[in-house]
Amino acid sequence: MARIHLLLSSLVLLLSVPSEAWRPWPNSTTTTGDAAAFTESKRYEGSSEFVDLKYHMGPVLSSQINIYTIWYGAWPLRHRSVIKDFLLSLSPSTGGAVSSPSVSDWWRTVRLYTDQTGANVSGNVNVASEHFDVGYSQGKSLTRLSVQRIIREAVKASKGALPVDPKNGIYLVLTAEDVRMQDFCRAVCGFHYFTFPSIVGYTLPYAWIGSSTVQCPEVCAYPFAIPSYMGRSSGPMHPPNGAVGIDGMVSVVAHELAELASNPLVNAWYAGEDPTSPTEIADLCEGVYGTGGGGGYTGRVMVDGRGRHYNVNGRGGRKFLVQWVWSPVKKACSGPNALD
């Protein structure tokens, strides 16, 4: 019987492709300074009357959100610290005193999404616990189903197991730079879905994001690295934490968290009529980081005294550059660093 359930689950996976984070590659660099003084006619920011984002009656994460992080493979502490500080900055209660625009300000747009009872996505985001799979339990070449097996190992480990938390938990699987994932670089930078009981034993919302430190930084760490076809007319931005692949990864993590919170079981908020290929609240704003963004422009962002680019502040003086998300109120892409 278990084998039948596994076969059925595998069929569902083939028919229902996990929601994916991909990147369009604009033909421009950062739009800071006087050259970025867009007129009203160039305020793209993703706004369009053709975007038909709908609510499909499924749940959003309206209770306290517990993030369970699985560090898969060999992760340097300095890289883990950047990502963990971003996660700890999502909630004001854990981020401490942070100047605006902040990561928790960015999360406020995600919080605008509600379920059928009118309950909003929670603003209480708790970085609950971590699991370290340093032995590469599923090897260094993964498939989408491998990610679910990694989660299974993490919740059933004899030592340091993660709690099973189907009500409040989201499971974040972050793979190290030497791990290869099916379709990574070619088609995805990250994706989210939910686990199958036939594999894990429970239905748990999860996301996978891979490190682009070595693999395809020009794809998944844009705009801190740029594709060769863009030429030299558009230089890359400078990463705020000095790590091209990891700073780029932070934005993909943000992308997946926003969509997990608003569409955890892929039956809540998305555009389009096909749930196997939903366009979600972060997909709509891919490549938009500031005012004027969209249509090939990243938008206006801030530059610190060392020439590093960012658009939100985090705990402990950290700075991050994260993409905007679609606002159901403004009917446009929105972020806390907006100039209007």
pLDDT 10s per residue in the chain (340 long)? 433 333 333 333 333 456 665 443 333 333 333 233 222 323 344 555 557 899 999 999 999 999 999 999 999 999 999 999 999 999 987 656 899 999 999 999 999 999 999 999 999 999 999 999 999 999 999 999 999 999 999 999 988 899 999 999 999 999 999 999 999 998 899 999 999 999 999 999 999 999 999 999 999 999 999 887 776 666 899 999 999 999 999 999 999 999 999 999 999 999 988 888 899 999 999 999 999 998 768 999 999 999 999 999 999 999 999 999 999 999 999 999 999 7
Position 86 scores a pLDDT of 98
Q: Which range of residues forms the domain containing residue 135?
A: 22-334
Number of domains, the chain: 1
Going along the chain, which residue ranges are E strands?
19-21, 53-55, 65-72, 125-133, 141-142, 169-175, 180-181, 190-194, 205-210, 269-271, 302-303, 309-310, 312-313, 319-320, 325-327, 332-334
Determine, yes or no, domain membership for 11.
no
Determine, yes or no, domain membership for 136.
yes
Kindly report the backbone phi and psi dihedral angles of residue 133, in degrees, each rounded to the nearest multiple of 5, phi listed first. Answer: -100, 70
Q: Hey, what's the torsion of the CAs at 43, 45, 46, 50, to 10 degrees? A: -40
Report the predicted TM-score, pTM, of the whole model to 2 decimal places.
Answer: 0.87
Determine, yes or no, domain membership for 2.
no
Determine, yes or no, domain membership for 12.
no
Q: Encoding tokens for residue 331?
A: 């009917």
Position 35 scores a pLDDT of 30
Specify whether the CB–CB gap between 249 and 209 falls below 8 A.
yes
Determine, yes or no, domain membership for 9.
no
Burial of 144 from C-beta contacts in 10 A (0-12 / 13-18 / 19+): middle
d(CA 147, CA 220): 19
Determine, yes or no, domain membership for 73.
yes
Q: Encoding tokens for residue 19?
A: 């929601």
Q: Per DSSP, what are the bridge partners of residue 131?
A: 70
